[in-house]
Amino acid sequence: MKMPIIQLENVWKIYKMGNVEVNALQGLNLDIKEGEFVAIMGPSGSGKSTAVNMIGCLDVPTKGKITLENHDISKLSESELAQIRGRKIGFIFQQFNLIPTLTALENVMLPMIFQGVGENERMEKATKLLELVGLGDRIYHKPSELSGGEQQRVAIARSLANDPEVVLADEPTGNLDSKTGANVLDFLEKLHRDERKTIVMVTHDQNLAKVAERIEFLKDGKIVKSLNNNRRSDAK
């Protein structure tokens, strides 16, 4: 039986806005096992974005415990969080978040700089990753010279730069047309199936969530329902 790679135990996140306290997460419990493809769904205001921040080590909880591979991240400093993020988690965002002045190759190389990877190795690995996502002929193009789908594929390549254990995709097809979005989703499935990456995808779209093995429904800052996708599990 595979052990959880990420565990959230009774996680609360409380924001203070003047004299008002907003409970973005209210006792969230979630286990994500190595090699799983999990979708997190919920309406606007359900706490999805805050949950992403917690799973991705972008923030620490007000109360509760978050464990990533036996590291209690709720007790880490910001610099320690940044290091563990860089090594363990790859991010794919709805807005792509590419640096406009850098080429596709340079965007993919960037995360490796912060992990101390040498320039030749960075360039070689980034080139291979861009070839993997079908952009081997576009490596010197800047984001403004790429379509939305191509930019998202650069973002996927960048998310894999440090060979992360977990790929966290936040509404990864939100800014794409349906055909391009389907291609991105197919690639995430391939990453999960062939590379055995742990994928956590946050979405409001039920159709997208169907590709996951498990769907967790979030409401008012906590999980209210879990659904195992037997079709996906049996297909392995």
Q: Report if residue 150 sits inside a domain.
A: yes
User: Model's pTM, two decimal places?
Assistant: 0.87
* Separation in Å, CA 46 to CA 15, 52, 115, 234: 14, 12, 34, 30
DSSP 48-107: HHHHHHHHTTSS--SEEEEEETTEEGGG--HHHHHHHHHHHEEEEETT----TTS-HHHH
Q: Flag whether pLDDT at 236 surpasses 50.
A: no
Q: SS3 helix, strand, coil % of the chain, rounded to 5?
A: 35, 30, 35
Measured between alpha carbons, how far is 24 from 217 in angstroms, rounded to an integer?
15
Q: Report if residue 2 sits inside a domain.
A: no
Q: What is the pLDDT, as a whole number, of residue 30?
A: 94
Question: How do 166-170 and 63-68 pair as beta strands?
Answer: unpaired
Q: Which residues pair with 199 in a beta bridge?
A: 37, 167
Q: Report if residue 201 sits inside a domain.
A: yes
Q: Report if residue 83 sits inside a domain.
A: yes
pLDDT tens digits, 179-214: 888 888 888 888 898 888 999 999 888 878 888 999
Q: Report if residue 113 sits inside a domain.
A: yes
Which residue bears the tokens 């390549």?
157
Measured between alpha carbons, how far is 205 from 41 in angstroms, rounded to an integer?
8
Q: Which residues pair with 4 in a beta bridge?
A: 33
pLDDT tens digits, 89-124: 999 988 889 999 999 999 999 999 988 899 999 999
Domain total of the chain: 1
Query: 123: domain range?
Result: 36-59+77-234
Q: Report if residue 22 sits inside a domain.
A: no
Tell me 81's DSSP state.
H
Nearest to 174 by CA among 206, 215, 203: 203
* Separation in Å, CA 11 to CA 23, 44, 55, 155, 162: 11, 19, 11, 29, 28
Q: What is the pLDDT, as a whole number, of residue 1?
A: 62
Q: Report if residue 3 sits inside a domain.
A: no
> What CATH number corresponds to the domain at position 226?
3.40.50.300
Q: Report if residue 47 sits inside a domain.
A: yes
Measured between alpha carbons, how far is 25 from 50 in angstroms, rounded to an integer?
7
Nearest to 163 by CA among 203, 200, 195: 195
pLDDT tens digits, 78-92: 888 888 888 889 999
Q: What is the pLDDT, as a whole number, of residue 8?
A: 94
Please list, in sequence order, all residues whose beta carbon lies within 8 angstroms of the beta carbon of residue 112, skipping any fewer than 6 positions away: 121, 122, 125, 126, 161, 162
